[in-house]
Amino acid sequence: MNDFRSNHSRRNEFKRNDSKKDDSKKHGFKKHDSKFDSSDPFPDPEFGLTPSKPTILKKHKPLVAKLTDSIHWYWETLAATPLQKKWAHTWFTKSSSAQFLRSVAVFRHFPVSDVPEIAFVGRSNVGKSSLLNALVNADVKSGLARTSKTPGCTTTLNLYGVGPYDGVRIRKGVSGGYDRIVGVGGMLIVDLPGYGEGSLQEWGPEIMKYLVNRKQLRRVFVLLDASVGLKETDRSLLASLRLNGVSHQVILSKLDKLFVPEGKEVIRHDMRVKRKAKPVGSTGKLAKMMEEIAAEVKPPQGAGALGELLSVSSEVSIDGKYMGLDAVRVSMLEAAGVKYIHKKR
Ligand SMILES: Nc1nc2c(ncn2[C@@H]2O[C@H](COP(=O)(O)OP(=O)(O)OP(=O)(O)O)[C@@H](O)[C@H]2O)c(=O)[nH]1
Ligand SMILES: [Mg+2]
């Protein structure tokens, strides 16, 4: 009964407010109504009542996955699920084709593009080109990207297209028009030359120009050798990325140098031959390295850094899968905006 009465009186109030509005229209002026005062943050236009303020949930502490048996840490994102990993594996190796598109030496020669881009950066020899080959399951003999034991193997910005349907390709510009990178639902991976022991300036201003100015670039994957960790050149690169607000995340490469667990079938795909691999190190060693790196790349220190640290090996597989590679695939798809669609059976 009480409820009814209050609703009834609300309706009357509503009617009164309505007639006030009509008056103001008639007289051509705006009447001040305390119920609709703009200083009221939550005005209810129907009843002229102020509803209760929304409950503000307690801020959660960032969840740092301190699992010592995990080779990936997610403290700002959600860990990849087994289903996502399976889908990402299929996307890169079965439902998409990968091809080399072009080498570019200067930023202004980059083709215009409709396709989201991901870039691999890191010191020379850290394993960028090897990761690219492993991602798409490139034939170990021929390889998609050239790799070498000698640092400085990649000297230009190399563009690779990965995508479903017709894949990602370059459409030639007609009658003097620009070439354009096209490919629905795909991504462009840019394998960059590594920087050396010297300064980042030696690395070349063209690369920094690309990282800072390229609109299609969705995320930069900064590779660090798991057995070496951060060096001054890496710190300086990470600082530049943060300063310029470039979206990036760190990947620990060559995980097998630090940790290989026991497994049914542990294989090293090295020097283009396959051989059995032995267990190496412990998760404790890896966790220590990850803790040090996570502390330096924490997102609160600057824009663009993602609170996710993945580890990968492009040379050691366990039961047919390269260590950590599927989680990297999930992150790349996420960065490129390629979404997992769950099919109902
Ligand atoms: N143990 C181990 N070695 C690796 C791994 N990935 C790459 N390598 C080796 O590291 C060396 C360099 O690999 P690349 O992929 O050419 O490195 P990069 O970063 O592209 O080098 P630059 O093009 O010179 O910048 C090669 O001898 C690879 O066999 C890995 O996961 N584990
Ligand atoms: Mg390379």
Closest residue CA from atom 3 of ligand 1? 254
Q: Which tokens hold the place of 93? A: 């190796």
* Domains of the chain, residue spans: 1-56, 73-336
pLDDT at 69 over 80: no
Q: Which CATH number describes the domain made up of 73-336?
A: 3.40.50.300
At 101-110, the pLDDT tens digits run 999 988 888 9
- CA of 86 from ligand 1 middle (Å) equals 25
- pLDDT band of residue 139 (cuts 50, 70, 90) is low
Ligand 1: atom nearest CA of 132 is 15
Cα separations (Å) of 248 from 245, 298, 307? 9, 11, 10
Which ligand lies nearest to the CA atom of residue 124 in the structure? Answer: 1
Phi, psi (rounded to 5 degrees) for 342: -80, 120
Judged against a pLDDT cut of 60, whether residue 7 lies above it is answered with: no
Give me the pLDDT at residue 301, please. Answer: 60
Ligand 1 probe mutation, 123, 131, 148, most atoms within 8 A of CB: 148
Atom of ligand 1 nearest to the CA of 148: 16
Q: Is the CB of 130 under 6 A from ligand 1?
A: yes
Cα 303 to averaged position of ligand 1 atoms, centre (Å): 29
Contacts of 88 (CB under 8 A, 6+ apart): 80, 326, 329, 330, 332, 333, 340
Closest CA to 159 of 114, 220, 117, 106: 117
Q: What is the pLDDT of residues 271-292, one digit of tens each?
A: 667 888 888 888 888 989 999 9
The number of the ligand 1 atom at minimal distance from the alpha carbon of 130 is 15
DSSP lists the bridge partners of residue 259 as: 281
Name which residue sits closest to atom 6 of ligand 1, judged by CA: 127
pTM assigned to the model = 0.79
Q: How far apart are CA 238 and CA 243, in angstroms?
A: 8
Atom of ligand 1 nearest to the CA of 314: 31
